[in-house]
Amino acid sequence: MRLGINTFLFTSPFTNKSTSLFPQFKKWGFETVEIPIEDPSHIDPAFVKAQLDKHGLVCGSVCACMGPDRDLRGTPQQQRTGLNYMLKLIDQMVVLDCPRLIGPEYSAVGRADAVPPNEQKQQWKTVVKNLKTLCKYAEQKGKQVCLEPLNRFETDFINTCDQALKMVRDVGSSALKLHLDTFHMNIEEKNQAAAIRKAGKLLGHFHACGSDRGTPGHDHIDWKPIAAALKGIGYKGDVVIESFTTDVKVIARAAAIWRRIEPTRNEIAVKGLKFLRRTLA
């Protein structure tokens, strides 16, 4: 397992200038960088790849940023916009030599409302259709799409590992995997370790986040069973710290971070990395 850091902890949006963070990431001991690409025009992927190489890092994952206009279960225009955005991300991933697209690729984040069962079934069919298109392209490019269940306050569509597994089965693509996150699982799963074991070989990506979105290990999550479950399924992918602070205003608002959870964001990275190394060893 490689340990990584999501750049949302330090900046939004990520641009070519944001590569100035790479030397510090390397100094702290991270192996991979997770890059949320809010708009493909924000970066020159060849430049970012050169900077990663220069500092001995790799882009382990690109995070899809699903705003209101990007929604695979939305209006026809929202579906087209969301799908075209992610197809462009896969093209950039080829240049970045990044293996996986991660996040809630199925819907706009924050869209959470009760809908009648018939409408929910139709939304499900629409997402299946769009994900088949996305995953077919990912297969052609040798990339993975890792589907992330979010908590009930951020989506009404896929909240649990079971729901995500159903979507994977319905899409039926070898490119589609699961992306589990301890913050969301802490809210939605009865047992985090059991969910990891249920995902098994389909687990393609993993976020290690504190229960309050702070430092992994400085929270109430029971991490030992989680580490045992990852080892038990033979997980060899990345384990990434994805936390948010009030220092990055736009992301803080989107993630409902209204107070300083830890003294500094550097502490989240450094202490979190130290904890994960010890726990996952």
Measured over the CA atoms of residue 150, residue 191, residue 179 and residue 12, the dihedral's sign is positive
Give the number of other CB atoms < 10 A from CB of residue 194: 13
Beta bridge partners of 205: 179
Let me know if 95 is exposed, middle or buried by CB neighbors in 10 A (0-12, 13-18, 19+).
Answer: middle
Q: Is 148 a catalytic residue?
A: yes
Q: Which of helix, strand or coil describes residue 236?
A: coil
In sequence order, what are the residues at sequence separation of 6 or more whose Cβ sits closer than 8 angstroms to the Cβ of residue 177? 100, 144, 145, 146, 147, 168, 202, 203, 204, 205
Residue 183 DSSP one-character state: H
Rounded CA-CA distance 260/19 in Å is 25
Rounded CA-CA distance 103/85 in Å is 13
Catalytic residue, chosen from 31, 154, 242, 262, is 242
Catalytic residue, chosen from 31, 34, 105, 148, is 148
Q: Is 34 a catalytic residue?
A: no
User: Would you name the residues annotated as active-site residues?
Assistant: 148, 242
